[in-house]
Amino acid sequence: MMSETKSSKDISAGPWQRQFDAAYDFPTTPVTTKVAFCTTPRCGSHFLGHRLHGTGAFGYPLEYLNPGNWHVWEKRAGPTPPLDYIKSVRTGPNGVFSVKLHHEHLAAFLKQEVAPLDYKFIHLQRRDLMKQAISFARAQQTGAWISDMPEKAAGSYDWSLITDKMDAISRGNADWQSFLSSMGIQPLQLYYEDVVADASAAIAQIADYLGVAMDSVVTTATTFTPQQQKKTAQAADWLSRYQSDSRAALAQGRSVAGFSHPTNATIWRGRTTRVAKKLRQKAGL
């Protein structure tokens, strides 16, 4: 197994690699409470996760099941099953283990976790879908997914990309709601806007939901405090342009976020199907 010292030295060179650093590990503690944050990209989960880690009361909520991250954890884990290893180093001193999951990580989570429904679920959403989609699109273009990550490329307005991100976020949240409802799970519902307005209140709400006594937790773990990303004139400009372009697209009979305009071919196939059905009914078929 990769040693803690070597792990810390080799993979802590940049903002993304920092999450794997042994400096952020906890001493091994038996897991007593398991928490899954149900998220979508750019919903504020990075900001909240690090604030929770800083308290020492919630483990270290990260995207462990993200395929790119999982590959690194497999190397750190060596012969130990990766999720077991992650729990051994990222469970807080009070026995709380937390994981962040986008819906596309759910299949891997269900495969790796032997008791997935033993988790407490927290659904974090963002009320302003438009701003979330713009943030998602810009992060993909620039490569800057967290506040202190340098941009590798410039962002440029792209109506189609923002539309794709809006639909992806909507599907992600809807799929989470469907899955949780089908399992009879009532998650704690949180919103990005409330978290950034009063992070302490959000943390207290989470602690109450989990039954975590904050005053009994003491941590000596290394912490990282992310900065809330600043609002930019560019983002405001993109929002205005996007809404204007979307209205124009709808007026032109084109598809927009949340609505796929039927093509002539689709309409023709539908009519042909209905005519064929009527003919079969008349023929007694």
Domain boundaries, the chain: 4-231
Which pLDDT belongs to residue 11? Answer: 38
Nearest to 202, CA basis, from 95, 63, 64, 50:
50
Q: How far apart are CA 154 and CA 142, in angstroms?
A: 6
CATH architecture of 4-231: 3-Layer(aba) Sandwich (3.40)
Q: In DSSP terms, which residues pair with 124 in a beta bridge?
A: 190
Q: Would you call 102 helix, strand, or coil by DSSP?
A: strand
Percentage of the residues of the chain whose pLDDT score is greater than 90:
71
pTM of structure: 0.82
Which pLDDT belongs to residue 284? Answer: 67
Locus of tokens 């906890």: 26
- For residue range 145-156, list pLDDT tens digits in order: 776 677 788 889
72 touches 10 (CB < 8 A): no
Q: How far apart are CA 15 and CA 147, in angstroms?
A: 9
